[in-house]
Chain A
Amino acid sequence: MSDPSPILRISALTKTFDDFTALHGIDLDVAEGEFLAIVGPSGSGKTTLIRLLVGMDDPTEGAIWLRDQRIDVIPANKRPTCMVFQSLALFPHRTVGQNIEFPLKLRGVAAKARKERALELLDLLRLPRDYYSKRIQQCSGGEKQRVALARALAFDPEILFFDEPLSALDYRLRKTLEKELKDLHRRTGKTFIYITHSLEEAMVMSDRIAIMRAGRFEQIAPAEEIYARPVSPFVAEFMGEVNFLSLAGGAVAGAELSPAAQAALAGQSGTLVIRPESLRLAPEAAGLILTGTVAAEYLLGSRVQYRIDSPAGELTVEVLREDAVAGVGAPVSLGCDISAVHVIAEAEDAAA
């Protein structure tokens, strides 16, 4: 990162459990006010990482810095950070108000000031003020989510961590809360670090996405960059549907190249990454030219997706509905602009 003074700096963080290494000496800088999403499949180490960051586990090696303070040596209850748990961890034996006030009570804030702050937070989270005396069990899923956020914000932590807090909710509510969370981030200006296995969630909300795999960061970049220029087939695949073609010495097996494409790919070897929407079904194909037959057709609302058998392997193509072509069994030719093709060079590929 170019930011001279990150709010959070992780350096050479390693965590081993018996003979299993969950984190392999990872580094990360997070800028003040950033919304960073850490995405990875289960077992990639993201939960281990967040547990180290909040202090529920101790790192085996490495350090965590919050501005100038080394925090990995500080117990969890003394760290100026707060986490929203996957289960939300709202206290069932306390009211909404008491839940929100809990961190303030621990810090010896007077009852009157506590209540004022709790009501302020209810306003911020757009919950009616009379929820103050409601019981947790009387709240809906989305309301509980907001109470958990209010509680996490109550003592004004430096960084808010989120451990997949939306994963248990239904699709529509999740979509609403994603937008609310992003909006909350904007309004509070706090640093949010959000763990999820859902890339969609990460793309909607975050400024940057860190993709984790097997205890390492595979790529850390804004969503568009990860989408357009993945560093490895793993990242490319993780970011949605993708076509891989093998590139050897500037030639693509099963495909013809236009002169411009030949020039662009000359001498390169590795993997070609092409998004389904970058492929066009057109008779006068240009750039990268492929042929094949339609094996299957799926309607995706405003778009149509085709599976196409071609000499280069099975291809996935997505076009707008008005550009739909003949159905299953029809021969087609496909083209792809060379600018929409991303090359993962062999060396990088091997490292991943």
Chain B
Amino acid sequence: MKTSRLASALLLAYGIAILAFLYLPLVSVGLASVSKARYLSFPIRRYNTDWYGEALASDTVRDLLWISLKVAGIVTASSMVIGFLGALAFARYSWRFRKPFQKLILLPIFFPQTVLGLALLMWFNALGIVPSWKTAIVAHLVWIAPIATLIVSIRAFSFDPALEEAARDMGATQWQVLREVTIPLLMPGVVSAGLFAFLLSWGNFPLSLFTTGADSTLPEWLFAKMISGYSPLVPTVGVLTVAGSAILVAAGLILAWALKRLRPTT
């Protein structure tokens, strides 16, 4: 069936309207960051980029970036390992408690993050652990590792079990099967799980708020400054935060593309 010219024009306009609705707020943050005025007001009369210089020179911002990066980095690496192993248990191997495992692993995702954060904080207190960025890593993992597991599981489900059996039949040991077949085939899933893990940790506010203690991540700081002490430094750091995720996503996509291109010829 052929849609009429009018219908497709309307559809296009509708699509653009939705995108504008979703993304204009982000653009406004970008605009606010280049405003010279102390308070956010439109239209912006004078532009400058001084706040970027200030942000990059600021020790506070550097600390924030470093803490957020440490937390997100460790969460990403751990999620990739946990997600890989979890997906094998979730989607590939049959074992006694597989069904309960498949259900239990979803539980943290269904918990509102604020409740999860509070519960973890109480738990850390009960154990006598002082909250810091390290406890935040644990908190993030409780929520993000299941998501990573599900992402790798999608890949694992689409994987023909005969591939592993064939490798074994041709003489591969368990370890060789893992190295030559299972890991390379699940790799794209593990990479996307890593990307998601980074983005979810990097932008996470509720879990960090409860569990970082005296330390502060970028989203926490943005919120605190919004409540009191707003300056264009806030949208500036916001834009830098987005830039951080954008760089990572781009790097991830390039990596995935390179893996796909290079593998068969190596």
Contact = CB atoms under 8 A, between A and B. Distances in A.
Contacts of B263: 93
A135 B264 CA distance: 7
Interface residues of B, number: 20
Nearest to B164: A89
B185 A93 contact: yes
A155 B170 contact: yes
Interface string B255-266: 000000001110
Interface string A76-95: 11110111011101011111
Interface residues of A, number: 28
Contacts of A89: 160, 162-163, 165-166
Contacts of A98: 264
Contacts of B185: 92-93
A91 B181 contact: yes
A190 to B, nearest CB: 16
Interface string B144-173: 000000000000000010110111111111
B264 A86 contact: no
A91 B171 contact: no
Interface in A280-329: none
B50 interface: no
Contact of B171 (A86, A95, A135, A155): A155
Interface string A49-72: 000001110000000000000000
Nearest to B181: A91
A86 B162 contact: yes
B54 interface: no
B169 A106 contact: no
A35 interface: no
A95 B265 contact: yes
A57 to B, nearest CB: 11
B165 A106 contact: no
Contact of B264 (A76, A95, A106, A151): A95
Given A56-B165, A89-B162, A77 B173 contact: yes
A91 B163 contact: yes
10 contacts: A76-B165, A77-B168, A81-B169, A85-B165, A93-B185, A94-B264, A98-B264, A102-B167, A151-B170, A155-B170
4 nearest interchain CB pairs?
A89-B166, A103-B170, A89-B162, A106-B171
